[in-house]
Amino acid sequence: MNSRLRVLHLEDDVRDAELVQATLEADGIPADLTRVEEEQEFVAALETGDLDVILADYTLPSFDGSSALKLAQQHAPDVPFIFVSGTLGEDIAIEALKIGATDFVLKTRMGRLAPSVTRALREAREKSERKETQEQLNREQQRFMDLVNSVDGIVWEADAATFAFSFVSEQAERILGYPTERWLKEPTFWKDHLHPEDRDWAVEFCAKATAEKRNHDFEYRMIAADGRTVWFHDVVTVVVEGERPTTLRGVMVDTTDRKRAEQVVRRSEEQLRDLIQTIPAMAFVTLADGSNEFVSRQWIEFSGLSQEQSSEGGWAVTLHPEDSEQHVAKWNAARATGQPFESVARHRNANGNYRWLLVRAVPSRDEEGHILKWYGALTDIEDRKRTEALLAGENRILEMVAKGNSLSEILNNLCCLVEEQACDVLASILLVEDGHLWHGGAPDLPDTFIE
């Protein structure tokens, strides 16, 4: 062994203790033995916690091995306990193993001591590893459950054939009011608590998608325990084993508040359009297919495009060539996923100049969750962009000065900063030296002009 074995030895005979140590070392197990005889000494040694194995005689003048085993199980339950005794009968030995001893060795057969200790240490190590693995597994399971129960929705698992739930998160009771036990015990719980108007189509839709082994999502209503109608957006994954759908897993997100908000939006749409015309931002309404239904007066004045020219994606002609591909890709991705859209890009105004605009849009859905329209606004952020660019340029030049860059590099960067801030401008910095003018910085001027 690479290190010395730490042994607590309950033994009243010094010669027997010496024999134990000699036997271990003869078999290649160097050991440090701490010999004790009394209960108080034994407990004190246990409480140090610095032990690899416990060896104990069964019978001592003022103490006994059985009591020692019980104390060891209280204070050092993971440390192997081996009886080494000359008075241990077979019945007593078997009983000792039943109550927790690792092994027993007769003093008349000391040749068994080293193998017994080696096996006990191996089993203790394996037990410790299993315990650590189990504790790690328990921690991971607890973290998983904490994560699942922190989701603002119902995480669930169900049989793919019957839709009977095998798991639902704690949020189920909070959102709908039914104990989770009912979800698990009632085979048709989901179907039975769907809104009557959604029951047939929702079950049919889910069954069809499951049979096609297709992940799916849909929106429907359920009836809560207190009679409320609750809207859900259910995102479902179909688990397939051996070419057969076996399990469904999903997350039911409560969308009731969003649905109510959409209803309010629909009722006030006309008032909203009137209001849009009074705000400085450029507003638009786009249909689900991407065609423009409405653009505000502010957009028409900014772009020079009419309502008709802006429809069917005509607005894209105003995008700067360097921004067009990414901006359009973001817009198409938002339309495909139904997620809110946000992008910053340069747009050409009616005068032919490009200005930075922040574009945002959100979808409006019908009662079944289908996107009807997108409502959006374009905000001019040109001044903010110029300020950010100016500060970045100033910091860049200051860093060059601090690093000791050449005067020519610094002046050229200063010219570039001026050109970035002004449209259609070429900058030059002239220096006076010995009564002569020369170009200290002019990165974009033609050579003939500089010469």
d(CA 50, CA 71): 16
Using CA atoms, how far apart are residues 75 and 86, in angstroms rounded to an integer?
A: 26
Q: What is the pLDDT of residue 406?
A: 75
As a whole number of angstroms, the distance between CA 415 and CA 425 comes to 10
Q: Residues near 103 by Cβ (< 8 Å), separated by ≥ 6?
A: 80, 82, 83, 97, 116, 119, 120
Helix axes 39-48, 65-75, angle to 10 degrees: 30
Q: Given this model, what pLDDT does residue 388 score?
A: 76
Alpha-carbon gap, residue 65 to 331, rounded angstroms: 79
Q: What's the pLDDT score for residue 173?
A: 92
Say how far residue 243 (Cα) sits from the centre of its chain: 30
Strands (E), 349-400: 354-365, 371-380
Do residues 190 and 163 lie in contact, with contact meaning Cβ atoms separated by under 8 Å? yes
For residue 1, the model assigns a pLDDT of 47
Q: Provide the pLDDT for residue 147.
A: 64
- pTM for this entry: 0.39
Cβ atoms of 413 and 397 closer than 8 Å: yes
Contact 89, 69 (CB under 8 A): no
Give the per-residue pLDDT at 58.
86
Per-residue pLDDT of the chain (451 residues; tens, 9 = 90+): 458 899 999 999 999 999 999 999 999 999 999 999 999 999 999 988 789 999 999 888 888 888 999 999 999 888 999 998 887 677 777 888 888 888 888 888 888 999 999 998 898 888 888 888 888 886 776 676 666 666 678 989 999 999 999 999 888 999 999 999 999 999 999 999 999 999 999 999 999 999 999 999 999 999 999 999 999 999 999 999 998 999 999 999 999 988 888 888 777 766 666 666 666 778 888 888 888 888 888 898 899 998 888 877 788 899 999 999 999 999 999 999 999 999 999 999 999 999 889 999 999 998 888 999 998 889 888 888 777 777 777 787 778 777 777 777 777 777 777 777 666 677 776 677 666 655 656 666 666 666 5
